[in-house]
Chains A and B, each alone.
Chain A
Amino acid sequence: DAGVIQSPRHEVTEMGQEVTLRCKPISGHNSLFWYRQTMMRGLELLIYFNNNVPIDDSGMPEDRFSAKMPNASFSTLKIQPSEPRDSAVYFCASRYSGRTDTQYFGPGTRLTVL
């Protein structure tokens, strides 16, 4: 079975540009999570979807960040405009059904904003 798929794996962009990160959850999973990993803040949840509906977006840093899940097999995290402090590794994770299941992580996208 394919795991969580993220693209691109690496992204280098210039400040002010729009960045779109993509995630395909494991088939059959109905919860999807976006996390960010930085040296300063560690791993932190940005937003959480359940059945394609955003449930908790309290971790989204500011209005420059937006996330969508148009269907059960695809989600995007967009940063517009990007800033150097957005440089981080962004992980997508998914799981099936309720909280009793484990979150499975994708390989991450390393974003560098120059």
Chain B
Amino acid sequence: AQTVTQSQPEMSVQEAETVTLSCTYDTSESDYYLFWYKQPPSRQMILVIRQEAYKQQNATENRFSVNFQKAAKSFSLKISDSQLGDAAMYFCAYEGASGSRLTFGEGTQLTVNP
């Protein structure tokens, strides 16, 4: 079974600074998708970014980018120019070849300090 691990329960960053959230996963599949979701206090799950495993290029969405290391099974999220609105719980998620479920990590609570 696939597992997703986020080793940082909490992180903090100063406004306008850069922060990196870590995620590792375990799988025997070669074809899969990886996601970062954001959950603010409203508890709405919001897609931040996704990465297809077959793509070597790291995904980027405005201030959000990933560092995807397939051999190391690592998928970190970098937030540049952090804003107060970025404060939330961030979940890393995996979807395998079956395409039937997202497997989530434990989450990282990000605090942005003014």
Cα A71 to Cα B97 with chains together (Å)? 26
Please, which residue of chain B has its CB at the minimum distance from the CB of A46?
B101
Cα A55 to Cα B99 with chains together (Å)? 11
State which size class the interface on A falls in: 20 to 34
Q: List 15 A-B contacts (CB under 8 A).
A: A42-B104, A42-B105, A42-B106, A44-B104, A45-B101, A48-B101, A55-B100, A56-B100, A93-B45, A99-B97, A99-B99, A105-B37, A105-B44, A108-B44, A110-B43
A-side residues, CB < 8 A to B, are 33, 35, 42-45, 48, 55-56, 59, 89, 91, 93, 98-100, 102-105, 107-108, 110
Number of interface residues of B (CB under 8 A): 22
| A102:B50 contact, CB within 8 angstroms | yes
* Interface contacts beyond A43-B104, A98-B99: sample of 14 additional A-B pairs, CB < 8 Å, sorted by A: A35-B102, A42-B104, A42-B105, A42-B107, A48-B101, A89-B43, A99-B97, A99-B99, A102-B50, A105-B37, A105-B46, A107-B42, A107-B44, A108-B44
Which of A44, A89, A102, A110 is B35 in contact with, Cβ under 8 Å?
A102
Give chain B nearest CB distance to A70 CB in angstroms: 21
Which of B45, B50, B95, B106 is A91 in contact with, Cβ under 8 Å?
B45
